[in-house]
Structure 1
Amino acid sequence: MKAIDMKDFGEADVLQLQDVADPVVRPHDLLVRNRAAGVNRADLNQRRGAYGRADFGDSTLMGLEIAGEVIAVGDQVQGYRPGDRVMGIVGGGGYAEIARIDYRMAMPIPSSLDDIHAGAIPEVFVTAHEAMLHLGRLEAHETVLVHAGASGVGSAAIQLARAVGATVHATADGAKAARVREFGADLVIDYKNEDYAEAVKRATGGRGVDVIVDFVGAPYLERNVRSLADGGRLVQVGLMGGKSATLPMDRLLFGHLQIMGTVMKSRPPEVKQAMVRRFRERWLDAFARGDIKPVVDSVFPLARAADAHRRMEANQNIGKIMLNAG
């Protein structure tokens, strides 16, 4: 089969379309004729060498989410058969014409969705649900601040927050503000030209927000903590800006705050399966009805994976960058 691989770590041009062996089906696997693969920040890190040549369960090839048609099943698979359309999260191997996925990480594609839009769901929506609703415990009467509101996870989190009836504040590049409001944000803060902590303080009458979902890390930590209301929860899902920062312990202590971190790629299979199950049970019907919609920024042929990476690195995207794998 054709797949994207690299001989060395480095810039985007190390990604090359190559002939590689088809994956072998294990007892719990679905073998999928891949039609779409999502591009994620973790892919950029992998290309640069952050994980070495680690195999996160399915393949040393890049790619964490797929959508396509089942062409074979393992002997312990339940609920799926060849011909089914599925989407889901893989431990590598998404940047390929054929991928394997543990059936417990797969979800049926609603008939209303094409493969590209289905492929834009798994990683970002499962991450958003896990961070904001499962860990952050956001409720209808509360307010959430979603950083990077134009990103894949950001656009997903905004839609899920609106669906549960919460008030949504989001940060984004001012040029992307109109689109972020379309996702459902009540307030969009231009992080390039405005201090988001001051904007949150004004918008909440000094109270702060109940939940923050953050991808940036170090540069935002102190302001995040000071932007939380008493009893607030900060859920860290990325470290794009760095990993070492000053924590205002007084606010943490006297505000009864909680700080949590979550990552999916390196978690044990049973933990990832539980994440997918929680998301599927709560939200899959909403996608079938069209109440929630995946946001696709752009689609590149598999052979142009390097261009897809460059677009993400330039922070040009609003929503998901996708690869058409077949």
Structure 2
Amino acid sequence: MRAVEFQEYGDPEVLRVVTAEIPEPGPGQVTIDAVYAGVNFADLKARAEGYRVASLPYRPGLEVSGRIRAVGHGVEGLRPGQEVAALVGGGAYAEVVVAGTATVFPLPEGLDLRTAATLPTVLPTAHALLHEVGRLRAGETVLVHGAAGGIGTVAGQLARAADAGAVYGVVSSAAKAEHALKHGYDEVFLAGTFADDVRRATSGRGVDLVLDPVGGDTLRRGLDTLAVFGRLVSFGNASGAEPWQVGQPELSAQGRSVGGFSVLALAQSAPEALRSLAERAFRTVTDGIVSLPVTAEFPLRDAAEAHRLMGGRTSTGKLLLRIAD
């Protein structure tokens, strides 16, 4: 089978198409004949920095859709030929992918494989940020960093569906602002001025909930935009800055709080909680509440081009690799 791997860290050029043996599923696993794989920022961090890479060579890819090829010992409720989406710890850039059954999701009726490949990381993450961790209530205001990306595109729609009082986004360019305004956002600010823009838009009150994948100075400024009893949920550190610690002095005076979320960590620590979360989140797609546009699609051999596009910070929506017809 074909797969994409890298043997050293670096620019997209380190990604290579290789020929590998077709894997067999172990106990509690299935193999999937992949049709699509999602491209995520975590894949870029793995290639460039070794994020979550245990050893080299390494095959990136966290989400896949396709049809079950074979099932391992003890697997129940899944069968060969069944259409599924799956969240995996790595290895989705391949024609055959191994997945643990706890994070394999049979597709509900009406959900096609192309759409399904966009969902395993993005949709549960956005749902958890707003509801399970952020505990958004009707009428509250939300600020979402990365509003034009995959998670941001979904978060804007979910916040609107939850009757948020106002949904604000933060992006890096005017072109991305145009995309975000089509997906649930009332106003969209540029990253350099968002704190002042929030104060203006809210007449100095601040927002009730901030969703931050950037970290560093952006997280600090985000805390300052919170209203009394506001919450900030951190779900990444795209800035690469040293993790910043926040404690009682920054939070107590106005009853603010900080939470965190990682869909990959939840898959390891509480897979049944992730399954329940994913089922709730997937229903928002089949019910027509959320749509996640695929803005670029590449054949597996062009994975490096997908990484260049995402790494250039000009992409919006979701990027996919097409592995099979």
TM-score under structure 1 length normalisation: 0.91
SS at structure 2 position matched to 1:220: helix
Deviations 1:57-107 (A, max 9, x none): xx9421000001112112322222112111121111100001122222122
- Cα offset for 1:114? 2.8
Aligned match of 1:207:
205
Aligned match of 1:128:
126
The one-letter code matched in structure 2 to 1:16 is R
Aligned match of 2:27:
27
SS at structure 2 position matched to 1:120: coil
SS at structure 1 position matched to 2:229: strand
Alpha-carbon distance between aligned partners in 2 of 1:288 and 1:101, rounded to the nearest angstrom:
24
| 1:85 paired residue among 83, 86, 109 | 83
Equivalent residue runs for 1:181-260 within 5 Å: 181-192=181-192, 195-241=193-239, 242-245=241-244, 250-260=249-259
Aligned match of 1:176:
176
Alpha-carbon distance between aligned partners in 2 of 1:27 and 1:270, rounded to the nearest angstrom:
19
Aligned match of 2:67:
69
Alpha-carbon distance between aligned partners in 1 of 2:44 and 2:230, rounded to the nearest angstrom:
32
Aligned match of 1:295:
293
Aligned match of 2:4:
4
CA contact (8 A) 1:110 1:287 kept: no
Alpha-carbon distance between aligned partners in 1 of 2:224 and 2:174, rounded to the nearest angstrom:
23
Alpha-carbon distance between aligned partners in 2 of 1:147 and 1:273, rounded to the nearest angstrom:
28
The one-letter code matched in structure 1 to 2:118 is A
Aligned match of 1:106:
104
The one-letter code matched in structure 2 to 1:224 is G
Aligned match of 2:44:
44
TM-score under structure 2 length normalisation: 0.92
SS at structure 2 position matched to 1:122: coil
Alpha-carbon distance between aligned partners in 2 of 1:303 and 1:201, rounded to the nearest angstrom:
47
SS at structure 2 position matched to 1:121: coil
In structure 2, the CA distance between the partners of 1:267 and 1:289, relative to structure 1 (3 Å rule), is closer
SS at structure 1 position matched to 2:270: helix
Aligned match of 1:317:
315
CA contact (8 A) 2:60 2:92 kept: yes
Alpha-carbon distance between aligned partners in 2 of 1:148 and 1:317, rounded to the nearest angstrom:
11
CA contact (8 A) 2:228 2:255 kept: yes
CA contact (8 A) 1:63 1:92 kept: yes
In structure 2, the CA distance between the partners of 1:261 and 1:248, relative to structure 1 (3 Å rule), is closer
- Cα offset for 1:110? 3.5
CA contact (8 A) 1:222 1:246 kept: no
| 1:154 paired residue among 148, 152, 155 | 152
RMSD across aligned positions (CA): 2.0
CA contact (8 A) 1:150 1:318 kept: yes
Percent identical among aligned pairs is 36
Deviations 1:163-190 (A, max 9, x none): 2121311111221222211111111113
In structure 2, the CA distance between the partners of 1:52 and 1:168, relative to structure 1 (3 Å rule), is closer
Structure 1 unaligned spans of 5+: none
